[in-house]
Amino acid sequence: MASKSPMAVNKSQTPMWMRVVIILVVASFGVGGIAVIIASLSGTGGGTNATDGATGTSGIFSETYQPRVDAALVAAQSNPTNPDIVIQVAHAYYEWAVEIYQSGQAAASIPFWLSAVTYYDQVLALRPDDEVALGNKAFALYYGQSADAPAALQAFIDQAADSTVLAAQVENARGMLAELGGAPAPSGEATTAP
């Protein structure tokens, strides 16, 4: 099976106020989290990331992504019914998973893909027609090697089939679904995410 590159998160629909809030929360965690980062770099964590329990290379990305996940979690906990805030947690885990996956550690990325799915599910409970959350969930399940991937890919295809903005992602989902033994992909369609 050829190596795949996960679908990029579509952040173009994130409102500017949300970006500012996330940056401020991340900055506040950055100042308070310096001791945590120093402890993880000194090896006192025993090579294990406390968030995911994974060992190995996933820890090297903790410095970048853990503060972002923590900030997004705090924001989501303070406003759990706002899908625009909750989706930031999902995106943070998704991008962390992409980083680990692209470093050649597909198995180590699985807990991060599945964490993203948990928060995409929360977004979809609040806003069922969110095509970005639906698509990212489907791709996360695919890369997370979940048995739920075919159904999620089909749901995304059905929901976003007429979207011109997500046309490439829909085609990729069709290819992935065909690869998993679902509906066949029409000829000439991509089987990897952009």
pLDDT of residue 41: 37
Segment-wise mean pLDDT, segments of 10 residues, the chain, 194 residues:
54 57 48 37 34 48 91 96 97 96 94 97 97 97 96 96 94 95 52 41
pLDDT of residue 63: 87
CA distance 59 to 68: 14
Domain count of the chain? 1
187 within a domain of the structure (yes/no): no
What's the domain range around 28? 17-42+54-179
Residues composing the chain: 194
6 within a domain of the structure (yes/no): no
CA distance 68 to 168: 28
104: left (phi over 0), alpha (psi -120 to 50) or beta: left
**Between the CA atoms of 140, 142, 148 and 153, what dihedral angle is there, to the nearest 10 degrees?**
90
- Whether 168 contacts 194, CB under 8 Å: yes
CA distance 117 to 96: 13
- Domain of residue 174, CATH code: 1.25.40.10
Contacts of 173 (CB under 8 A, 6+ apart): 135, 138, 139, 153, 156, 157
9 within a domain of the structure (yes/no): no
Show the CA angle centred on residue 110, arms to residues 5 and 169, nearest 5°.
Answer: 35
118 within a domain of the structure (yes/no): yes
121 within a domain of the structure (yes/no): yes
190 within a domain of the structure (yes/no): no
pLDDT of residue 62: 86
166 within a domain of the structure (yes/no): yes
Residue 55, beta-bridge partner list = 48
pLDDT of residue 90: 97
49 within a domain of the structure (yes/no): no
Alpha carbon distances (Å) from 167 to 128, 158, 162, 174: 19, 12, 8, 11
Phi, psi of 130 (to 5 degrees): -75, 100
